[in-house]
């Protein structure tokens, strides 16, 4: 769905030569190619293609960059969530409080790990889980709470920590989009039992295919996730499971990371700070050009916190009137957009058995109806931002309501 469209060929979007694809990394990739080629050659020479030395090197480099005790490389951000939930001790039937507005994997991971999502509404300013709503969703079966950090800022981690403490819940963070974001100096994903990273190509640090990681400061969570990604193999006597010394101690999955993806990610990691700075510049350019535009109801709003929080623009998301008509208009003019997220999770058919109704989580539902993501990636030119904003203004100028 959004992932496939995000990779539309930038060359075919229109005939004017001025198309603005939703995502492209063609020019930065050309710059990075020598570093990537060197790393790929290393993989070929070492002959370890999965779960090999470059994956280990990437895990070390990321752990240092994030300030995490452990980074466990896996096949995708989604797998990372499932393994994190299992490693953090989710048991069959346990409930996890999840925001009703997120990528579907935030909640489907809970089901795949044997649990049950308990949906709660978001704070409409940050799109993050609202602590008061999270507290109201707690039942005797609730064991965990999953704040999701979306687009450009963190969910209210202090508020969530308070709820977690009051109800004895484990915090697991869906920090798939949040690389580079810190709360009071601590990187996203490291405020509870653990978090995840996604290296899907469009993410702030993207591979050339699927990859992800579990990040944690908890030795036991890291060791269990590392075993689960590799068929449940610990491969030695287990400190944390006394008496268990079998090689395969848990039913695991095959979610090893490819060394070829690690080769790409290691090359791109050196540019991460520059990429984040470029994203911030482009976001500022959008905000300047769209401020006061009729039809645009909300631009990204930085929420004041008592502690330092570093925003990182993974996505430039606006809320607009006549969203679907705007999306069509932009597409007709060669501008790619994405609808993050089109359906609130409590109304997704795959969660129909939970018995939710429209109207239950009004902030999540409003965001799904009005939000649209504009193109934002380091290769984007300021002239392209100009073009997108001019088209948005033309749309609302012409379609006065
Ligand atoms: C991208 C993303 C995921 C899933 O990551 P994949 O690597 O695509 O599996 C999960 N949660 C959120 C919020 C995401 O943005």
Q: How confident is the model at residue 18 (pLDDT cuts 50, 70, 90)?
A: confident
Instruction: Please name the fold of domain 33-269.
Output: 3.40.640
pTM: 0.93
238 CA from centroid of ligand 1 (Å):
31
Establish whether residue 212 lines the binding site of ligand 1, counting it when its CB lies within 6 angstroms of any ligand atom: yes
Q: Whose CA is nearest to atom 6 of ligand 1?
A: 77
Q: Do domains 14-26+271-395 and 33-269 have the same CATH topology?
A: no
Q: Whose CA is nearest to atom 2 of ligand 1?
A: 176
Evaluate if residue 398 carries a pLDDT over 70: no
Ligand 1, residue 79: give the atom nearest the CA.
9
Q: What share of the chain is helix, strand, coil (3-state, %, to 5)?
A: 40, 15, 45
Evaluate if residue 212 carries a pLDDT over 70: yes
What is the average pLDDT across 365-391? 97
What pLDDT shows up at residue 233?
Answer: 83
What pLDDT shows up at residue 5?
Answer: 40
Delimit the domains of the chain by residue range: 14-26+271-395, 33-269
What is the average pLDDT across 317-335? 98
Listing DSSP states for 152-167 in one string gives TS---HHHHHHHHHHH
Q: Name the residue of 112, 117, 176, 255 to mutate for ligand 1: max ligand atoms within 8 A of Cβ.
A: 176
Please check whether the domain covering 14-26+271-395 is classified as CATH 3.90.1150.10.
Answer: yes
What is the average pLDDT across 307-328? 95
C-alpha distance from residue 220 to each of 51, 155, 215, 341 (Å): 20, 26, 12, 34
Is the Cβ–Cβ distance between 144 and 170 less than 8 Å?
A: yes
C-alpha distance from residue 278 to each of 29, 237, 384 (Å): 15, 47, 14
Establish whether residue 82 lines the binding site of ligand 1, counting it when its CB lies within 6 angstroms of any ligand atom: no
pLDDT in tens, 56-75: 999 999 999 999 999 999 99
Q: Among 168-177, 234-243, 335-344, 361-370, which stretch is predicted with the lowest mean pLDDT? A: 234-243
The two beta strands, 142-145 and 186-187, are: unpaired
Establish whether residue 83 lines the binding site of ligand 1, counting it when its CB lies within 6 angstroms of any ligand atom: no
Evaluate if residue 236 carries a pLDDT over 70: no
Is the Cβ–Cβ distance between 278 and 284 less than 8 Å?
A: no
Q: How confident is the model at residue 227 (pLDDT cuts 50, 70, 90)?
A: very high
Q: How confident is the model at residue 194 (pLDDT cuts 50, 70, 90)?
A: very high
Could you tell me what percent of the chain has a pLDDT over 90?
85
Ligand 1, residue 76: give the atom nearest the CA.
7
Establish whether residue 80 lines the binding site of ligand 1, counting it when its CB lies within 6 angstroms of any ligand atom: no
C-alpha distance from residue 399 to each of 295, 329, 390, 391, 392 (Å): 9, 11, 14, 12, 11
Ligand 1, residue 198: give the atom nearest the CA.
7
Quote the tokens at residue 373: 């993501």
Higher pLDDT, 92 or 301: 92
What pLDDT shows up at residue 239?
Answer: 56
What is the average pLDDT across 176-183? 97
What is the average pLDDT across 308-331? 96
Ligand 1, residue 81: give the atom nearest the CA.
10
Evaluate if residue 365 carries a pLDDT over 90: yes
Q: Whose CA is nearest to atom 5 of ligand 1?
A: 77
Classify 127 in phi/psi space as left (phi over 0), alpha (psi -120 to 50) or beta: left
Q: Among 50-54, 84-88, 97-101, 120-124, which stretch is predicted with the lowest mean pLDDT? A: 50-54
């Amino acid at each position: 769905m959004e992932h496939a469209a995000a990779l539309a060929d930038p060359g075919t979007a229109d005939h004017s030569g001025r198309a603005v694809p939703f995502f492209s990394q063609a020019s930065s990739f050309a710059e990075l190619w020598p570093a990537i080629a060197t790393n790929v050659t290393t993989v070929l020479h070492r002959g370890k293609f999965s779960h090999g030395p470059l994956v280990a090197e990437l895990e070390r480099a990321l752990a240092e960059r994030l300030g995490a005790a452990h980074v466990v490389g896996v096949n995708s951000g989604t797998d990372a969530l499932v393994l994190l939930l299992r490693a953090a001790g989710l048991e069959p039937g346990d409930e996890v409080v999840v925001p009703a507005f997120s990528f579907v994997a935030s909640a489907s991971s809970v089901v795949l790990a044997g649990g049950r999502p308990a949906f709660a509404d978001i704070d409409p300013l940050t799109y993050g889980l609202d602590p008061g709503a999270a507290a109201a969703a707690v039942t005797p079966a609730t064991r965990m709470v999953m704040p999701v950090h979306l687009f450009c800022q963190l969910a209210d981690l202090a508020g969530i920590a308070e709820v977690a403490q009051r109800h004895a819940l484990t915090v697991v963070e869906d920090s798939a989009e949040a690389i580079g974001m810190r709360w009071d100096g601590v990187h996203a994903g490291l405020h509870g039992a653990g978090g995840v990273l996604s290296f899907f190509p469009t993410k702030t640090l993207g591979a050339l295919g699927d990859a992800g990681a579990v990040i944690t400061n908890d030795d036991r969570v890291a060791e269990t996730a590392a075993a689960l990604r590799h068929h449940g193999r610990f491969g030695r006597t287990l400190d944390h499971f006394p008496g268990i010394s079998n090689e395969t101690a848990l039913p695991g999955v095959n979610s090893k990371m490819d060394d070829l993806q690690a080769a790409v990610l290691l090359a791109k990691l050196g540019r991460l700070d520059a990429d984040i700075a470029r994203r911030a510049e482009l976001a500022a350019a959008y905000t300047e050009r769209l401020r006061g535009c009729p039809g645009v109801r909300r631009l990204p709003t930085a929420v004041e916190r008592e502690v330092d929080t570093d925003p990182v623009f993974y996505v430039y998301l606006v809320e607009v009137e006549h969203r679907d008509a705007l999306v069509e208009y932009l597409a007709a003019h060669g501008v790619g957009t994405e609808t993050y997220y089109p359906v609130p999770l409590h109304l997704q058919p795959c969660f129909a058995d939970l018995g939710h109704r429209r109207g239950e989580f009004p902030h999540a539902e409003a965001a799904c109806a009005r939000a649209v993501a504009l193109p934002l990636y380091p290769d984007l030119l300021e002239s392209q931002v100009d073009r997108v904003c001019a088209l948005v203004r033309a749309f609302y100028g012409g379609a006065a309501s």
